[in-house]
Amino acid sequence: MEKLKKYFYIVLVLLLFLPIAQRFFKFHISEPLNGLAAFSDYPTFHLKDWHKGKYQKTVEIFVNDNFGFRNTLLRWANSFDYWVFRYSNTKDLVIGKDGHLFFDYNIDNYLGITQQNRKHIDSLFVETDQLNKKLKERGIELIFVIAPSNAYYYSDKFPPQYDRYPKKENDYDYYLKKLNQYKISYVDFNKWFLEIKDTVSIDLFPKNGTHYTYFSAVWLADSLVGYLENKKNIDMPEIIYESTRIDTMTKTEHDLENILNLSHKLDNEKLYYYKLKFNTENKTTPKVLTVGDSFYWPVLNQMIPKNCFGNVAYWFYNDAVFPESFTKKKTTDQVDLDSLFNGLDFIIIFSSATLMNNYDYNGFIGDMQDYLNGNYTIRKEDEELQYWINAIHNNPDWYNKIKQKAENMNIPVDEQIKNEALWMIQQEKKKKQN
């Protein structure tokens, strides 16, 4: 009995030291967690950080994020909670009936639990109406594309805790009213997906993903091309479904499963995929700017804009510009708008039905208004200037150096701060040019 106790304690001690051994010797390679990033380097020691307690806290965070078998143990814990409690440890992700996965904010938007301020929407549409009229004067069509949402498609699969909430008017309903009121052109693919849902033999949304499938994205894109043709009375390249195959779904199509970070795989149905070709002979390829969210990726990734449009210009959340950002990030403030607007035919705003609150995409409507009014460059420069002024005020060492320089030059401190900020803007421009 004593010998058994001894062996038990030895095994227990070995198990306690096993994560430490894994931390240093890496004899087991575990997959990184999706959606999470651990500290890659041990924090650098500085005496002043030690005295403030900052260094100790940083080390504690590093150890917590990098101990041996961390990723594997977290996946085991997540799988246990998934199977036993039908609970997700991933922020904003909930598990519905029959195992359907949702972002909770999509459900909240669908039910009208979360609503955008109506006065803000009213004001935004006054701006949109003004922009739409100015674009038409230039021969540019503004098109709003409402992408389908899994919260609508699988509204009968919400988790039981949502059964007590009656559906109220939501942002999608209100935006439709405003689009119709101001006669702004739009295509409602959310409504279309619901109309054809019972007429197709396969689901247009995967059970474990938030985005529609790649094959349904082709249908959406094909219909959008037809809509654009009618708008401009042009004959655009034809999308030809050369062949169809059934295959395991792509990683992006079960993206919600990925960020659950489970130790086991969920059941994922096989899906249809098209092999596409394009008839471009004697066809018109319009110049298009698309600003939108992740629901445009299934269209973009299948090379449909590349073959059907005269250019590919996708502003992801009115921030990163694609395809340029695939190699090195390019932001929208680096775009030559004069060149972009030269010969532009369409501006497409692409948004999911349950993410209509993103409609303006970081001030896109205002940016376009400012450009057409000749104020865009001035406003951007003012924002950059204010950014560096704030940065100087928030950095005591930098501020004190500038203060001393101002005294030596016998000029006001604010004037020297502005000079320093302008110098920083010039340095940033040089870096971008290089």
Neighbours of 80 (CB within 10 A): 13
Q: What pLDDT digit, counting tens, does each position of 253-276 carry? A: 999 999 999 999 998 888 989 999
113 and 36: one domain? no
d(CA 20, CA 32) in angstroms, rounded, equals 18
Bridge partner residues of 141 (DSSP): 346
Residue partners of 397: CB distance under 8 A and separation at least 6: none
52 vs 128, residue with greater confidence:
128
Using the 8-state DSSP alphabet, how is residue 42 labeled? Answer: P
Confidence of residue 230 (pLDDT cuts 50, 70, 90): very high
Rg (CA), the chain: 27
Q: What pLDDT digit, counting tens, does each position of 289-343 carry? A: 999 999 999 999 999 999 999 999 999 999 899 999 999 888 898 888 989 999 9
The pLDDT value given to residue 402: 84
239 and 319: one domain? yes
Beta strand 314-316 pairing with 346-352: unpaired
213 and 343: one domain? yes
40 and 140: one domain? no
Q: Which range among 91-100, 117-126, 266-275 shows the weakest confidence by mean pLDDT?
A: 266-275
The pLDDT value given to residue 177: 97
375 vs 206, residue with greater confidence:
206
Percent pLDDT > 90 in the chain is 60
Q: What pLDDT digit, counting tens, does each position of 148-189 carry? A: 999 999 999 999 999 999 999 999 999 999 999 999 999 999
Residue partners of 345: CB distance under 8 A and separation at least 6: 139, 140, 141, 232, 286, 287, 288
354 and 399: one domain? no
Most confident of the following: 60-64, 132-136, 409-413:
132-136
Domain-ending residue, one of 344, 374, 404: 374
Whether the pLDDT of residue 137 is over 60: the answer is yes
Q: What is the pTM of this model?
A: 0.80
Domain-ending residue, one of 39, 61, 85: 85
Full domain range(s) for residue 131: 93-374
What does 213-239 look like in DSSP terms, one character per residue? PHHHHHHHHHHHHHHHHHHHT--PPEE
Please, what is the average pLDDT of the chain?
88
218 and 349: one domain? yes
343 and 402: one domain? no
158 vs 61, residue with greater confidence:
158
d(CA 229, CA 309) in angstroms, rounded, equals 11
The pLDDT value given to residue 131: 96
Cis bond leading into 323, ω under 30°? Answer: yes
Confidence of residue 423 (pLDDT cuts 50, 70, 90): confident
279 and 419: one domain? no
User: CA geometry: angle at 144 spanning 285 and 314, to 5°?
Assistant: 55
